[in-house]
């Protein structure tokens, strides 16, 4: 089996190096081939050069739509197993080992992982609590997704009609497809990712709690203005 790790990247020179290194470290723990696909999105910094230094394959997708960006990377992938991760996150060294074991068990359609922020504060903790009920109701997780490529394609990849919350939508559809085929959505608990808190660093730790209308618009997924503010036009 070959793994394809997909990374959307918009001006990520401050983060993508450690992300790529974490993938390379995790790849050393398995015998399968691991390719890395970086989808460059309107990059004007050294993101492309850093990706090249790590022998990653790069594709270009300049739309302000994370679903399209992620899918562009998926179209360039040649592996039988798809893994997605954001450029400002790092996977634990045992991540690919755990993914391999769970897929080999035959019981799981794929799933997400445990997410650890790089720092905590009261504002970040309360922001996490506001999203937690949604995750618990749907019994999904995110941060990093893993599944067979055939199942990724069967659910249509990421929904390009959405400009935000495309990851949660993907998880819900993957879980539903798995249920139809007798396989469960699994949150890996024995591995994790560490993700940056750059949105909190930029907007403030209490920003989401102070702007519930923005959160509602982001969760709906179809508000380009809200998505541009929080994702696509945010300074790195």
Mean pLDDT of all residues belonging to the chain: 97
3-state DSSP of the chain = CEEEEEEEECCCCCCHHHHHHHHHHHHCCCCCEEEEEEEECCCCCCHHHHHHHCCCEEEECCCCCHHHHHHHHHHHCCCCEEEEECCCEEECCCHHHHHHHHHHCCCEEEEEEEEEECCCCHHHHHHHHHHHHHHHHHCCCCCEEEEEHHHHHHCCCCCCCCCCCHHHHHHHHHHHHHHHCCCEEEEEEEEEEEECCHHHHHHCCCHHHHCHHHHHHHHHCCCHHHHHHHHHCCCC
Report the percentage of the chain scoring pLDDT > 90: 94
Task: Give me 177's structure tokens.
Answer: 């497809």
136 pLDDT higher than 90: no
How far is 184 from 111, CA to CA, in rounded Å? 8
What b/e string do you get for 97-125 counting C-beta neighbours within 10 Å, with b at 16 or more?
A: ebbbebbeeeebbbbbbebeeeeeeebbe
Residues 14-25, mean pLDDT to the nearest whole number: 98
Residues 5-32, mean pLDDT to the nearest whole number: 98
Q: Are 69 and 8 in contact (CB under 8 A)?
A: yes
Residues 179-197, mean pLDDT to the nearest whole number: 98
Band (134; pLDDT cuts 50, 70, 90)? confident
Q: How confident is the model over 103-116, as pLDDT tens digits?
A: 999 999 999 999 99
Position 137 scores a pLDDT of 86
Residue ranges per domain, the chain? 2-117+141-197
Beta bridge partner(s), residue 2:
33
Residues 14-36, mean pLDDT to the nearest whole number: 98
Q: How confident is the model over 44-80, as pLDDT tens digits?
A: 999 999 999 999 999 999 999 999 999 999 999 999 9
CB atoms under 10 Å from CB of 179, counted, come to 12
Band (97; pLDDT cuts 50, 70, 90)? very high
Residues 126-130, mean pLDDT to the nearest whole number: 93
What is the homologous superfamily of the domain 2-117+141-197 according to CATH? Spore Coat Polysaccharide Biosynthesis Protein SpsA; Chain A (3.90.550.10)
How far is 144 from 6, CA to CA, in rounded Å? 10
234 pLDDT higher than 90: no
Q: Are 100 and 30 in contact (CB under 8 A)?
A: yes
Indicate the pTM of the whole model. 0.96
Q: How confident is the model over 146-187, as pLDDT tens digits?
A: 999 999 999 999 999 999 999 999 999 999 999 999 999 999
236 pLDDT higher than 70: no
Give residue for tokens 């391999």: 100
235 pLDDT higher than 80: no
């Amino acid at each position: 089996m070959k793994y394809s790790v997909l990374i959307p990247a918009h001006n990520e020179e401050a983060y993508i190096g450690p992300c790529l290194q974490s993938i390379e470290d995790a790849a050393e723990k398995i015998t399968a081939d691991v390719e890395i696909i970086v989808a460059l999105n309107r990059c004007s910094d050294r993101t492309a050069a850093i990706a090249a230094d790590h022998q990653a394959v790069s594709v270009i997708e300049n739309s302000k739509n994370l679903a399209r960006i992620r899918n562009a990377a998926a179209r360039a992938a040649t592996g039988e197993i798809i893994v997605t991760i954001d450029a400002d996150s790092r996977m634990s060294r045992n991540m690919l080992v755990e993914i391999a074991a769970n897929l080999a068990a035959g019981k799981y359609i794929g799933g997400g992982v445990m997410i650890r922020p790089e720092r905590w504060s009261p504002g970040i903790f309360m922001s996490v609590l506001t999203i937690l009920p949604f995750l618990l109701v749907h019994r999904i997780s995110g941060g990093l997704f893993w599944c067979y490529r055939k199942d990724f394609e069967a659910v249509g990849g990421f929904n390009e009609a959405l400009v935000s919350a495309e990851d949660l939508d993907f998880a819900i559809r993957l879980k539903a497809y798995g249920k139809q085929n007798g396989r469960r959505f699994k949150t890996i608990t024995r591995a994790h990712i560490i993700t940056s808190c750059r949105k909190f660093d930029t907007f403030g730790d209490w920003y989401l709690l102070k702007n519930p209308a923005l959160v509602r618009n982001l969760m709906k997924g179809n508000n380009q203005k809200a998505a541009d503010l929080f994702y696509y036009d945010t300074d790195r």
